Amino acid sequence: MFGGFGLYDLWEASPIRFEHTCHESCSEEIIEILFPGDPLLCCGQSRSSFDMRRRLAWGEELSQLALVVPNPMLEDGGYTQEGHWSSHCLEATAARVYQVVEFDFAALDRKGNHTPWTALIEHWKASGITIADAEAALHPHLSKHMPLACVTSSGGKSLHGWYNASDLPEDDQRGFMERAVALGADRATWVRSQFVRMPDGLRDNGKRQTCFYLNPQNCIRL
């Protein structure tokens, strides 16, 4: 299925490659490419610690953050499902411009039980294929159906792929997401306001969320 394509190959295929140490970050440059102009962005260090600002107002602070909503926000915020006013909620999120797909395969769940991926991961391991390689190979496969703009690490074992959905009607966007879920993607990122990993940002454990792929030609034009 993977045709010898892995994480290193994804990095090699990137039109822009970042070669820096784990203490450096290119988050500001990446977000500028992903979100041209000066849109409102909701970013944070955690799901309980976040803010909404214009892109230019975030500046270098982006490199220290872990999370970002992959769609621009509306000026006045909105109400959460619990009825609280917030700058981070579905009502406060503008139309979808990126659909983020997260693959997070694991042999064991948080309780130590086998997952649906256990046997397949063991097969990969025996064939010299890492989980990261398998996840990386799925994004070029999906890019045949929607333009792939960015792939970034979670700072752990998952990869987040950013796909340009701005030119597609919602039915086509939904069909693409169903295709990704059928391959093992997390359905949660279908929600427009869902936080995803900040490209090249900083996870709460201090690990850099490395950006492995960035294609400006596939980014939105605001």
Name the percent of the chain lying above pLDDT 90: 78
Q: For residue 138, is it within any domain?
A: yes
Q: For residue 2, is it within any domain?
A: no
pLDDT at 1: 41
Residue 197 and residue 216: Cα distance in Å, rounded? 18
- Range(s) of the domain holding residue 43: 7-218
How does pLDDT run across 144-170, given as a tens digit for each residue?
999 999 999 998 889 999 999 999 999
- Domain of 160, CATH number, reads 3.90.920
Residue 122 and residue 32: Cα distance in Å, rounded? 40
Q: For residue 172, is it within any domain?
A: yes
pLDDT at 157: 86
pLDDT at 21: 53
Q: For residue 54, is it within any domain?
A: yes
Residue 124 and residue 98: Cα distance in Å, rounded? 30
What mean pLDDT comes out for the span 93-114?
A: 94
Q: Could you give the C-alpha distances from 85 to 10, 16, 67, 99, in angstroms and in order?
A: 41, 39, 20, 25
Residue 201 and residue 61: Cα distance in Å, rounded? 9
Q: For residue 99, is it within any domain?
A: yes
Helix (H) or strand (E) holding 176: helix 170-182
Q: For residue 166, is it within any domain?
A: yes
Domain count, the chain: 1
In this structure, the number of other CB atoms found within 10 A of the CB of residue 171 comes to: 8
174 pLDDT band, cuts 50/70/90, is very high
Q: Are 69 and 42 in contact (CB under 8 A)?
A: yes
Reported pTM = 0.92
Residue 178 and residue 181: Cα distance in Å, rounded? 5
Q: For residue 205, is it within any domain?
A: yes
pLDDT at 85: 81
Short-list 179, 176, 216, 175, CA closest to 199: 216
The answer for 120, left when phi > 0, alpha when psi is -120 to 50, beta otherwise, is alpha
